[in-house]
Amino acid sequence: MKYPNAKKIDLERKTLLPGFIDPHSHFGMVSNTMGQVDLNPEPVGTVTDIEDILANLKAYKEANKIADGEWIFGWGYDDGELAEKRHPTKNDIDKVLPNNPVYLQHTSGHMGVANTLALEKMKVSADSKNPEGGNIVRFPNSKEPTGLVQETAMYPFVRHMLEELASKQAKFFDTTQQYYAANGITTAQDGMTDRNTIRFFQAQADAGKFYIDLISLAGYSELESNLKDSTLHFKTYKNGFKVQGTKIVADGSPQGKTAYFTKPYKSEVPGCTHDCRGLPSLTQDELNKLFVMAYDKDNQLFVHCNGDATVDMVLEAHRNACIQLNQPLDKDRRTIVIHAQFARQDQLLKFVQYNMEPSFFTNHAYFWGDVHVENLGKQRADFLSPMVSAERLGLKPTNHSDATVTPIDPIFTIWTAVNRVSRSGAIIGEKERAKPYLALKAITSNAAYEFFEENFKGTLVEGKLADFVILDKNPLKVKPMDIKNIQVLETIKEGKTVFKK
């Protein structure tokens, strides 16, 4: 017998697939939410209005016996799903928590709201200037901040939040890992990781605490120092953990109206009165320098961009770097355009020409499809995450959750790619509804390719790792609208069961 230790197992009509590979989420942020107030709307949470947010904050302080002066963090609020159709302000939060610094992270992850005490601690006032690539939103006819900070203006608040929650990393690490495994994921991702957290993950790995693989993307602000660090070995697993490449954030959120477009938003944009097309997080020159630095050292880039204007910037940065370094435009670097949600058809053709790959986000069709129609118009909304067009051109698109933005749930990701149904039941882009097989490839074989792992992950082929997921039904055979009801029964990593229902 070729494999003497092999066992024959009767699946009893269940479905065996390659273990799901997470193309893009934020493992560390998912873990951090376990120490924050859940402010998500349905179907993730229960918040319907600002009063619900305030009640949840007050209840959290009381239940956890948080003393005055201590920070309180919340996550997942969505102004578009609140009855008031607006962001909470510092004045709202001050009503219930005047004596605690409070920061609430928007569901997009690209903005948040701070109360008066938190603004004071982060030294944000009426005299503060907007940082490059960011916006401190003010009350009408005033310089007084409302508490809403967008894009780079939120960075100090997020940085402080991560510092405050760092002590809880170990406490929530295994719970987070089990959450991923329970959803059939055998390879997870942390979509932007600072050096301290990289050290933490590697320490966990070296202590033998990983039972699924974790891929980390280092932050672009540390790119130069990371490339000079001889102890940091990119693209190389050590005990189930590796740092694959570098994540660049180039613009914002379409539902938060900070994604950068060539044409303006069709609805009112907070903090903007004219030609409201969103915000690039970096200038073209800054982006160009990062691409040159990374390409010169063969460092794989993963670039967050949602709006088509930002995709133009990324394509230009790629072209410029190749010219400066005298490298072929189509070298096999596998630069990944994260989200690429509103990439135009001509930009997809450039991805082919430049050998770049998109990682799409079809969950937006469900969670914010109706909002995108209102904010961007039907034509742009319908071409959201164009998986079908991308594959037709020969690209290998992946599809992700971007958790914490939407929940870790690869089955739901398949469902949104296939159906593209919004909360209201509208179809967001009939022509871009994917076949279930393409939706599966986006979280298996295509995802393996994204990370240069196609030789040992992503398909059921002899010689590859025994990374499997067992489902109660076959996504290729059930009715499209029933896909989201499929259950993960077991997750197997390199032949060992790491989750069983």
pLDDT in single tens digits along all 501 residues of the chain: 577 777 888 899 999 999 999 999 999 999 988 889 999 999 989 999 999 999 999 999 999 999 999 999 999 999 999 999 999 999 999 999 999 999 999 998 899 999 999 999 999 999 999 999 899 999 999 999 999 999 999 999 998 998 888 888 888 999 999 999 999 999 999 999 999 999 999 999 999 999 999 999 999 999 999 999 999 999 999 999 999 999 999 999 999 999 999 999 999 998 888 999 998 999 999 999 999 999 999 999 999 999 999 999 999 999 999 999 999 999 999 999 999 999 999 999 999 999 999 999 999 999 999 999 999 999 999 999 999 999 999 999 999 999 999 999 999 999 999 999 999 999 999 999 999 999 999 999 999 999 999 999 999 999 999 999 999 999 999 999 999 999 999 999 999 999 999
- Residue 418's Cβ-count burial label (10 Å; 0-12, 13-18, 19+) is buried
Judge whether 27 lies within some domain: no
Whether 225 and 373 share a structural domain: yes
Rounded to whole angstroms, the Cα distance separating 363 from 428 reads 11
Domain total for the chain?
2
Helix 284-296 vs helix 308-325: crossing angle, to nearest 10: 50
- Amino acid code (one letter) for 440: L
Q: What is the pTM of this model?
A: 0.90
Is residue 332 situated within a structural domain? yes
| Domain shared by 242 and 121, yes or no | no
Q: Please tell me whether residues 409 and 280 are part of one structural domain.
A: yes
CA distance 295 to 399: 25
Shared-domain flag, residues 320 and 381: yes
Q: Domain containing 93 — which CATH number?
A: 3.10.310.70
User: Does residue 199 fall inside a structural domain?
Assistant: no
- Nearest residue to 205 (alpha-carbon basis) of 170, 180, 241: 241
Q: Measured between alpha carbons, how far is 429 from 423 in angstroms, rounded to an integer?
A: 14
Last residue of a domain, one of 408, 424, 449: 449
Instruction: Establish if 375 belongs to a structural domain.
Output: yes
Whether residue 129 is contained in a domain is answered as: yes
155 and 233, same domain (yes or no):
no
Same domain, 106 and 229: no
Alpha carbon dihedral 61, 64, 69, 75, in 10-degree steps, equals: -60
In a domain? residue 401: yes
Tell me: do 250 and 363 sit in the same domain: yes
State whether the Cα torsion 447-158-107-388 is positive or negative.
negative
Tokens of 474: 């076959």
143: helix, strand or coil = coil
Residue 466 inside a domain? The answer is: no
190 is a domain residue: no
Show which of 403, 431, 449 is a domain's final residue: 449
- CA–CA gap between residue 406 and residue 413 (Å, rounded): 10
Q: For residue 264, give the CATH number of its domain.
A: 3.20.20.140
**Are 312 and 433 within one domain?**
yes
Whether 66 and 144 share a structural domain: yes
- Domain boundary (449, 473, 489) is at 449
Supply the range of the domain harboring residue 58. Answer: 36-164
